[in-house]
Amino acid sequence: MQFLAFLFDKHLDKTVLVAVLVVSLVFLNLPEASKVNKAKVVTSFLLYPVNKVSRYFASVEELRQENTDLKRMVATLYHERERLLQFRDERNRLRKLLGFKEDSFYRFMPCEVIANSSERFLHSVVVDRGKVDGVKVGMAVVDYRGLVGRVIEVFPHSARVMLINNKSCSVSCIDKRSRVVGILEWERGNLFSLEYVGSSEDVRPQDTLITSGFGKLFPKGFTVGTIFHVADEKGGLARKVSAVAFSDLNKLEELFIVVGGRKWEENEIYDELEKLSRKKSGVK
């Protein structure tokens, strides 16, 4: 009792110090795995807000870096755009000289897939845009990688899109490098075959296929897929060309309906970008 009184009455401060030092030393001498496990249990509760805030600051840093990179990219794109505008004007002048019809590029309407078809070979999806949004039968549908299909049915607020991996859908394609034309037909999964390619035609693995615009079913110039295998059929006149689609047709989520063309002179996107950058720099 006297000893306890000595410890806790007369030297309480020193006793507390010795106690915490002993506890610290015990922790320090625990096996490492045990220390880490114990700490993990405590930190998951205690340090959760700290980690959360640390991560927030780290993400702010990343965003700042990303912002700098994007600014650099925008500057490069503006420069590139000026160059392209000069090419555009030159191209238009030359087309006029040659008497070509004016061509256009496309306007996209974003949409989301709200349902998939249940049939195994007649693949289609339903998207959340319909008649009220201006969607019409026959419009092409793409995702950010390439062609996906075309609208076959339109409802007031939705539309059914027949995918290119549908047995009844064929796409006229051109080899982007050699300009060889063929008809792309679905085989299985994401794999397609390019039909009607002659045995002497120049097609190679890694070549990109784009829509040809022939037949007016799909607009011209959209990427569709890439060739991965070319084989000559024995004694045949045609080559067996296998291709894979760029878009993962089984995992479609955000799509774009090609709602029409717009003239090269209409620089809506660039104008908006310019407006934004002026607004930011305070120039009216």
Positions in the binding site for another protein (CB under 8 A)? 12-13, 16-17, 20-21, 23-30, 32, 35-36, 38-40, 42-43, 46-47, 49-50, 53-54, 57-58
Residue pair 249/190 in contact by the 8 Å Cβ criterion = yes
Taking the least distance from each CB to another protein, the nearer of 39 and 77 is 39
Taking the least distance from each CB to another protein, the nearer of 39 and 74 is 39
**In this structure, which amino acid lies at residue 81?**
R
Minimal distance, residue 71 CB to another protein, in Å: 21
Q: For 65-120, give the DSSP string.
A: HHHHHHHHHHHHHHHHHHHHHHHHHHHHHHHHHHTPPP-EEEEEEEEEEEEE---S
- Which residue matches tokens 């590139």? 80
Give start and end residues of each alpha helix (H) in the chain: 2-5, 12-28, 32-46, 48-98, 268-281
Residue 182 class from Cβ within 10 Å (0-12 exposed, 13-18 middle, 19+ buried)? buried
Minimal distance, residue 37 CB to another protein, in Å: 9
Taking the least distance from each CB to another protein, the nearer of 22 and 276 is 22
Side-chain-facing half-sphere of 71: CA atoms under 13 Å: 9
Minimal distance, residue 65 CB to another protein, in Å: 13
Taking the least distance from each CB to another protein, the nearer of 49 and 235 is 49
Minimal distance, residue 49 CB to another protein, in Å: 7
Q: How far is CA 253 from CA 10, 48, 94, 278, in A?
A: 74, 34, 41, 34
Taking the least distance from each CB to another protein, the nearer of 28 and 283 is 28
Q: Return the bridge partners of 108, or none.
A: 258
Residue pair 194/184 in contact by the 8 Å Cβ criterion = yes
Minimal distance, residue 54 CB to another protein, in Å: 5
Taking the least distance from each CB to another protein, the nearer of 33 and 97 is 33
Minimal distance, residue 260 CB to another protein, in Å: 50
Minimal distance, residue 3 CB to another protein, in Å: 19
Taking the least distance from each CB to another protein, the nearer of 19 and 114 is 19
